[in-house]
């Protein structure tokens, strides 16, 4: 079975890359096609694959500022030469699902979210004060083009899997396509409680420091209520947040997995004030026995059980967060019960659900290894050698009318890359 894996970009190990890692281990001979690959930025399990990048890789500054080339991403993803594969498996939160496939090839897409920058989070990325004057004139036209492309290219996918019911609803809304839900895997064997470690009095935040993560709500709560807060993460908002933070708030920057696990084990609870598509961090924290105090929207409604493994606040306001802290501190949470909730998202469950998806919607004989993989390209590029004409799209359901731009208040998590595209 000749298989190709498609991923938007490989610039760091986040939730999306952990899903790709699991899929890459299932298909060890499959090449990985991606817009950008910064060598050494992802796990060894991914790096050992033949990785074929797009022409974006060769553009000036692409290694760190690839976001500026957003309008060219559709063209780059469509240039990949995928002739000869039986299965194309994409993991997409931007354009990966838009690869052009050929007759006889099955395309399955694990969708972390439709392209949020042009749908539900447009204002968060490109709204007033976030871009320059010229960009503010041009971006509405670029966004319109990308929305049209996003809907049309969804018809190239034979079967969608969504990382949450929250994203499943978006896929139906924007693409008019059904999707099964397969929650991402969390390493519940690594993230565990430690009976020898006592919980301390500090609250923990683990996130990219960008506007839509709403870390300022935590700072305001810390000003109104005497609580100690430890913040793990970095981003374009870091300087401003550090200036505005009260003395009871400490910023640690990014931490490795071992340090993060130690913080999960020692914190009183995890604050999670942003809205996520799924949210792996809250599950990691719960796997270590830490309850979650979070905004009751998006994927958090699927990963936290209120009053059993955490407490929700309903509106993104500091006073609501303070009230949630009060409720939390008036309750007792069982480490075992919190941990039990996280165990629903372990690796074995993920692998079983992916296997079921592949068997039901993938090509026949998907787990037969008699046919070799397509030979690796001589260079790092996966582009078509002579850019042949695009084949006609296979039969799909009728194309739905292009949906209207949704309510901008629906602001999801930035997903696998937390700094796209305005924030650097």
pLDDT digits over 358-380, tens only?
A: 999 999 878 775 444 444 443 45
Q: Tell me how far apart the alpha carbons of residues 34 and 228 are, in angstroms, rounded to a whole number.
A: 41
* 22 or 120, greater pLDDT: 22
Q: What percent of the chain has pLDDT over 70?
A: 84
From CA 185, how far away is CA 166, in angstroms rounded? 17
Considering the chain, what percentage of its residues have pLDDT values greater than 90?
71
Distance CA 407, CA 169 (A): 14
**pLDDT tens track for 330-340:** 999 999 999 99
Contact 300, 282 (CB under 8 A): yes
Closest listed residue to residue 211, CA positions, set 127, 104, 134, 132: 127
Question: What is the length of the chain?
Answer: 424
Alpha carbon distance 411, 393 (integer Å): 32
Predicted local confidence at residue 193, as pLDDT:
98
What's the mean pLDDT when you consider all of the chain?
87
> What was the pLDDT predicted at 379?
40
pLDDT at 411: 31
The pLDDT assigned to 398 comes to 45
Q: Please state the rounded mean pLDDT for residues 17-43.
A: 95
Compute how many other C-beta atoms are within 10 angstroms of the C-beta atom of residue 215: 29
For the chain, which domains are there?
A: 3-185+346-361 (3.40.50.2000), 203-345 (3.40.50.2000)
Q: How confident is the model at residue 130 (pLDDT cuts 50, 70, 90)?
A: low
**Segment 121-140 mean pLDDT:** 71
Q: Which residues of 124-255 form beta strands (DSSP E)?
A: 159-162, 179-181, 203-206, 229-232, 249-253
Q: Which tens digit of pLDDT belongs to each residue from 216-264?
A: 999 999 999 999 999 998 887 899 999 999 999 999 998 888 999 999 9
Are the C-beta atoms of residues 234 and 207 closer than 8 Å to each other?
Answer: no
Average the pLDDT over 33-43 and give the result: 94
Q: Which long-range contacts link 374-379 to residues 24+ away (Cβ below 8 Å)?
A: 374/2, 374/4, 374/31, 374/84, 374/85, 376/31, 376/50, 377/31, 377/50, 377/52
* Per-residue pLDDT, 380: 59
pLDDT per residue as tens digits for the range 42-101: 999 999 999 999 999 999 999 888 888 999 999 999 999 999 999 999 999 999 999 999
Regarding predicted confidence, which is higher, 393 or 361? 361
Contacts of 142 (CB under 8 A, 6+ apart): 70, 71
């Amino acid at each position: 079975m000749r298989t190709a894996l498609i991923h938007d970009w490989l610039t760091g190990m986040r939730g999306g890359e952990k899903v790709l890692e699991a899929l890459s281990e299932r298909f060890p001979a499959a090449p990985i096609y991606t817009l950008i690959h910064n060598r050494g930025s992802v796990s060894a399990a991914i790096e050992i694959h033949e990785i074929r990048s797009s022409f974006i890789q060769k553009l000036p500054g692409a290694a760190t500022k690839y976001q500026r080339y957003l309008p060219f991403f559709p063209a780059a993803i469509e240039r990949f030469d995928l002739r000869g594969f039986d299965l194309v498996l994409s993991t997409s939160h931007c354009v990966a699902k838009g690869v052009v496939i050929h007759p006889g090839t099955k395309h399955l897409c694990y969708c972390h979210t439709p392209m949020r920058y042009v749908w539900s989070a447009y204002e968060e990325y490109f709204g007033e004060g976030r871009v320059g004057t010229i960009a503010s004139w041009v971006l509405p036209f670029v966004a319109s083009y990308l929305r049209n492309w996003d809907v049309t290219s969804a018809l190239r996918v034979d079967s969608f899997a969504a990382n949450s019911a929250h994203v499943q609803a978006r896929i139906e809304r924007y693409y008019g396509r059904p999707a099964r839900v397969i929650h991402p895997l969390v390493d519940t064997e690594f993230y565990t409680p430690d009976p020898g470690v006592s919980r301390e009095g500090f609250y923990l935040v683990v996130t990219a420091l960008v506007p839509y993560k709403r870390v300022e709500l935590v700072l305001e709560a810390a000003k109104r209520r005497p609580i100690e807060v430890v913040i793990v993460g970095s981003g374009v908002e870091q300087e401003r947040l550090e200036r505005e933070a009260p003395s009871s708030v400490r910023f640690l920057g990014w931490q490795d997995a071992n340090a993060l696990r130690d913080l999960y084990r020692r914190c009183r609870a995890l604050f999670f004030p942003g809205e996520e598509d799924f949210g792996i961090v809250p599950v990691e924290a719960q796997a270590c026995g830490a309850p979650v105090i979070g905004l009751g929207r998006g994927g958090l409604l699927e990963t936290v059980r209120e009053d059993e493994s955490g407490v929700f606040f309903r509106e993104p306001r500091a006073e609501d967060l303070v009230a949630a802290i009060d409720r939390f501190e008036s309750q007792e949470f069982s480490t075992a019960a919190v941990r039990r909730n996280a165990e629903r998202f372990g690796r074995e469950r993920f692998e079983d659900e992916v296997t079921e998806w592949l068997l039901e919607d993938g090509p026949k004989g998907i787990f037969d290894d008699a046919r070799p993989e397509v030979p690796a390209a001589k260079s790092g590029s996966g582009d078509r050698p002579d850019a042949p004409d695009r084949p006609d799209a296979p039969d799909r359901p009728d194309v739905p009318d292009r949906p209207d731009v949704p309510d901008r208040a629906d602001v999801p998590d930035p997903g696998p890359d937390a700094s796209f595209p305005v924030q650097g």
